[in-house]
Amino acid sequence: MNSLRKRIDKIKPHFMEGGKLSKLRSVFEGFESFLFVPDKVTFKGSHIRDSIDLKRTMTVVIIALLPALLFGAYNTGLQHFRSIGIDSGQLQNFWFGFLKILPLVIVSYGVGLGIEFIAAQIRGHEINEGFLVSGLLIPLIMPIDIPLWMLGLATAFAVILGKEIFGGTGMNIFNPALLARAFLFFSYPAWMTGDKVWIEGLTKGQNIVDGFSGATPLSLLAQGESAKLPSVMEMFIGTIPGSIGETSTIAILIGALILIATGIGSWEIIVSTFAGGLTMGLLMNLVAVNDYMRIPAYYHFVMGGFAFGAVFMATDPVSGAQTETGKWIYGFMIGVLSILIRVLNPAYPEGVMLAILLMNVFAPLIDYYVVQSNINRRLKRAKIALNKQSR
């Protein structure tokens, strides 16, 4: 470790202003702060640098995502061997899925970080860890069979048009990972919906066992085949077809606990999203004109990407609401809209993505009105106090 530090100190002057490699300064700083705690201190005023910097925040989210990722790998293998009717061991399942997911993760990080590096050089910004979480979220919300070039294209689209255009990390209006998914959803619907894309090998015309269906619970419901729905327990544990990281509600809940315990993710948003979903689910139960509306409201939590969206997407601190009251409104509306789109619009089997993207747009507006109403309330109080004094 020490020799590494010495080595870095030795080449450091080349990258500082006036050095021959000063153009690559941000690349150097990026790697330095990746390896060591940056030695930056504030020079003026009474600012305190919190040790929870962007890097640590991002690392916590990555840790919170691990259960979903690991289970996703296991489930990918499980679904694959199930579809071809082979009884496989747990480890075999995991290893198979792991090897299938790895290229997706590499492409997502490669393309995203590549663009971030280039953008940082052009702007003369520091390289930051802004893409660390998005880069892992993107593969987790993809179907396993998505072609790699599509994934790369979507990542590039999301990073350039969703993030860099607005000024880079912390300035984006939309959640970049969801933007990548939305791009693919509208660009190549054949690869993003249907019964075949969720299980490795099905799109390549692999032989499958008779009676096996790769349909997700949501598409079963959208097709009106609620009788074929897997049991709640299966959906809760996550041994069902779906996007890589979103099938297992329990793995996501472990992640949620990590996020809440460390204070990184907003528990208000998570709770209110679930509350919104439950409210809309119960409302649907009251209407109950078809099978989809009659399913118990809590089913919505374990099906599709609802839990994943609520825990990892809605809580994005950049694109979500910032004020306390705003977070409750923001989360609640995400829950309501998700279920509304799911149940009432057969063209979009999963509504969580669109609901969160839509509420991303409204988050600043919600915050604005929360802040304004607070200002007005305090002004009123000040006026009353003033009146009493003058009397």
Task: Summarize as ranges the residues that interact with another protein (CB under 8 A).
Answer: 147, 149-150, 161, 165, 183, 186-190
Smallest distance, Å, CB 312 to another protein? 24
Q: Which two tokens stand for residue 282?
A: 């119960």
Smallest distance, Å, CB 122 to another protein? 11
The amino acid at 385: A
Nearer to another protein, 204 or 391 (CB): 204
Smallest distance, Å, CB 188 to another protein? 6
Nearer to another protein, 72 or 162 (CB): 162
CA 178 to chain centre: 7
Nearer to another protein, 129 or 164 (CB): 164
Nearer to another protein, 169 or 203 (CB): 203
Nearer to another protein, 194 or 230 (CB): 194
Smallest distance, Å, CB 169 to another protein? 19
Nearer to another protein, 96 or 191 (CB): 191
- Tell me the CA distances in angstroms from 343 to 25, 161, 236, one per residue in order: 52, 31, 20
Smallest distance, Å, CB 253 to another protein? 34
Residue 359 · residue 330 · CB < 8 Å? yes
Nearer to another protein, 68 or 182 (CB): 182
Nearer to another protein, 165 or 288 (CB): 165
Smallest distance, Å, CB 186 to another protein? 4
| DSSP sequence for 325-385 | HHHHHHHHHHHHHHHHHHHH-TT-S--HHHHHHHHHHHHHHHHHHHHHHHHHHHHHHHHHH
Smallest distance, Å, CB 382 to another protein? 32
**Nearest of 243, 241, 197, 231 to residue 79 by alpha carbon:** 241
Nearer to another protein, 165 or 386 (CB): 165
> In whole angstroms, what is the distance from residue 54 CA to residue 129 CA?
7
> In whole angstroms, what is the distance from residue 275 CA to residue 270 CA?
9
Smallest distance, Å, CB 147 to another protein? 6
Helices of type H across the chain = 2-15, 25-35, 54-83, 90-123, 131-140, 148-162, 176-187, 189-192, 217-222, 232-237, 249-262, 267-287, 291-294, 299-302, 306-308, 324-344, 352-390
> In whole angstroms, what is the distance from residue 167 CA to residue 357 CA?
19
Smallest distance, Å, CB 346 to another protein? 18
> In whole angstroms, what is the distance from residue 18 CA to residue 144 CA?
48
Residue 314 · residue 331 · CB < 8 Å? yes
Between the two ends of the chain, the Cα-to-Cα distance in Å is 72
